[in-house]
Amino acid sequence: MITVHNLTKSYNSNTVLNIDHMEIPKGQSFGLVGNNGAGKTTLFSLLLDLIQPSSGHIINNEVQVDQSEEWKPFTSAFIDESFLIGYLTPEEYFYFIGELRGRNKADVDALLANYGDFFHGEILGQKKYLRDLSKGNQKKVGIVASFIGNPEVVILDEPFANLDPTTQIRLKGIIKDLAAKEGVTVLVSSHDLIHVTEVCERIVVLNKGEIVKDIHTSTETLKELEAFFAG
C-alpha cells in the first residue's frame, strides 16, 4: 500500500529522517516508536505532504504524494489539534469532514452511532465548540473524524496520549478491528510500548531519523523494545 523510497528530510545540514526503503502492505497495523526527535511526526507529515522531502519520495497506493493529490480521497489522519476546526461543534465538524469525503448526514450519523461507547456521552449534543472541549475529548473527535468516509489508510500520531484509561482500551479495540476486519492500513505512533505491541502487527523503531528495528510483533516484542529503550 505504502512504499518509501530513499526518503530523507534535512534542515540545513541536520538530517532528521533517512529511510532507504520501507514497505507497508495493505491492511497492516503499523506501529512507529522512538524517542522525541526520532522523526515520527516528520515521517507522518511527509506522508500527508505537509512538508517536502529533501530527497526520495513516498508512494501511497500508486500515487506519489508530493506530486499528485490523488492520495487524499483514500487517506485520512489525525496528527494534532491543527486538524480540528475550533469554532465548530463536534457534530458540525463530523458533517463537514463527511461532506468533504462524500458522505451525507445520515452516513455520518450511522458511523457515529458505533462510537457511542468511545465518546462516553461527552462529545455529541454538548452545545460546546471544539475549542472549549478538554484535550482528551478533542482527541476523541479528531480520531473518530479520521474514520469517516471509509479511508484505506489511517494515520494517527500518538492517539493514546491524553486519553483516559477506558478510552485507551476502547481505542485499541477499534484500531485492531479496522486493520483486521476492514483491511484498513493503520499507521500509529506512540510512546507507550505496551499499547503498540498490543495493537500493531509490526513495529518499526526510529532513532535519530533511521530505522533501527523492524519487528513482526510476537510475545517477545515488548521485552525486546524495553531492552532497546532502556539503553
Partner 1 sequence: MFKHFLGLQWKSFYRSASFKTEIWFKILMALGALYFIAVFLGLGFGAYFMIDEAGWGNPLRVVNRFMVYYLTFDLVFRYMLQKMPVTNIKPLLYLPFKKSQVVNFSLGKTVVSFFNWSHAFFFIPFSVVLLTKNYPFAQVVGWHLAMMAIIYCNNFINVMVNNKDAVFYVFAGLMILAGISQFYQWFDITLYAQPIFDYFYDMPWTAIIPWALLLALYFLAFGYFKKHMYLDGGLAKKHTEVRTENLDWLNRFGNLGTFLKNDIKLIKRNKRSKTAVLTGFFFVFYGLLFFTGAIEAYDGPFWKIFAGIFVTGGFLFSFGQYVPSWDSSYYPLMMSQNIKYREYLSSKWYLIIIATVISTILATFYVYFGWEAYAAVLVGAIYNIGINSYLVLWGGAYVKTPIELTSNKKAFGDKQAFNAKTLLLTLPKLLLPMVIYAIGHFLISPLAGYLFVAAFGLMGFVFKERAFKMIEGIYKKEKYKTLLAYKQK
Selected binder of partner 1 within 96, 115, 228, 229 (CB under 8 A): 96
**Is 14 among the residues that bind partner 1 (CB under 8 A)?**
no
**Is 107 among the residues that bind partner 1 (CB under 8 A)?**
no
- Cβ at position 41, least distance to partner 1 in Å: 11
Q: Tell me the three cell numbers of residue 54.
A: 529533501
Would you give the end-to-end CA distance of the chain in angstroms?
33
CA distance 119 to 168: 12
> How many beta carbons lie within 10 A of that of residue 178, not counting itself?
18
The residues in 45-74 that bind partner 1, with binding defined as CB under 8 A, are: 48-52, 69, 72-73
**Is 92 among the residues that bind partner 1 (CB under 8 A)?**
yes
**Is 101 among the residues that bind partner 1 (CB under 8 A)?**
yes
Give the burial class of 209: count Cβ atoms within 10 A of its Cβ; 0-12 exposed, 13-18 middle, 19 or more buried: buried
The residues in 197-226 that bind partner 1, with binding defined as CB under 8 A, are: none
CA distance 210 to 65: 21
Contact residues for partner 1 (CB under 8 A)? 48-52, 69, 72-73, 75-77, 79-80, 82-89, 92, 96-97, 99-102, 127-129, 131-132, 149
